[in-house]
Structure 1
């Protein structure tokens, strides 16, 4: 009888380890602290921010959201005391290294908003990440809308005319 229990235990352990391996294989990119800056009525755009960490060399290709007609990945930089901001095709995600999307660097612009983004609401974002092998991963995120109390870079620069 003992050997039957031992055999069943080994089968269960093997099954659980296979499930764990399948989960780990699909968990390629982690998203932490995803948030969107809340807006005031009539504000046409806002930013989304987060930290991404991929387990292999990858890149963030695109982001979509039903709250905006246009969603782009942007980069803000300072050169000779001049702020430059513009759309980028992707953001490199080196294996195992956290990459921050924040107001002062890479970030996601949600433009032509369908409605005001209310503080405390959840904003759905769909990220597409591609690893070095060309395999694409789709990640659905619920980003919390946070207060307007911090600098709103979307008001500093008119993104509506950017291409």
Structure 2
């Protein structure tokens, strides 16, 4: 009987320490950068999702990497109906809320890239948060190129394109070939 109490006490203490460690953690997920097949391009965006798992609001203050001279945090803001890109000094990370740094409004921009980025490769970035905490993150380079023929085909068959309707045929064979849901 005493063994069960001892086991439960040890389990409770270990869980409290692990909960405290998790509570201070900032989780970074889906970190990637697009591959551009333009050799002279010295800028590239970086996208990720950051989730603050602590009990209080935190901030991302800066980002560094060895492959670029500078990393800036940028935001797209609407000024009098026009979208403008602005450099910002920090990103507020509310407790328990994922912050999506994607291409819609908030992202990181590598400036002065000094090494060639290849699709499928990875590089490291160091994120500096308030309270002096830093975290190293591996960024994957993803190929996002679409050939001109494939893009034209998508425009012809995509029902969401304005002013176009999907090309259909009564012939089953051609319908199978042109239906984007079957391919």
Q: TM-score, normalised by structure 2?
A: 0.68
**What CA deviation, in whole Å up to 9, does each residue of 1:96-140 have, x standing for no partner?**
22211111211101110011211111121111122xxxx232121
Quote how far apart the aligned CAs of 1:48 are: 0.6
Quote how far apart the aligned CAs of 1:78 are: 4.0
* Distance 1:15-1:94 versus aligned 2 partners, 3 A rule: closer
Distance 2:137 2:91 in 1: 17
Who wins on radius of gyration, i.e. which is larger? Answer: 2
Higher strand residue share: 1
Quote how far apart the aligned CAs of 1:77 are: 3.0
After TM superposition, list the pairs within 5 Å mapping 1:145-156 onto structure 2.
145-149=141-145
Distance 1:37 1:84 in 2: 21
User: What is the RMSD of the two structures over their aligned residues, measured on CA atoms?
Assistant: 2.1
* Distance 1:77-1:147 versus aligned 2 partners, 3 A rule: farther
Distance 1:102 1:72 in 2: 14
After TM superposition, list the pairs within 5 Å mapping 1:14-163 onto structure 2.
14-27=12-25, 29-40=26-37, 41-54=39-52, 55=54, 56-80=56-80, 82-130=82-130, 135-149=131-145
SS at match of 1:149: coil
Contact kept? 1:42, 1:116, Cα under 8 Å: no
Q: Structure 2: which 5+ residue stretches go unaligned?
A: 147-183
Distance 2:27 2:145 in 1: 27
Distance 2:77 2:98 in 1: 19
Q: TM-score, normalised by structure 1?
A: 0.76
Distance 1:20 1:11 in 2: 14
Contact kept? 2:71, 2:109, Cα under 8 Å: yes
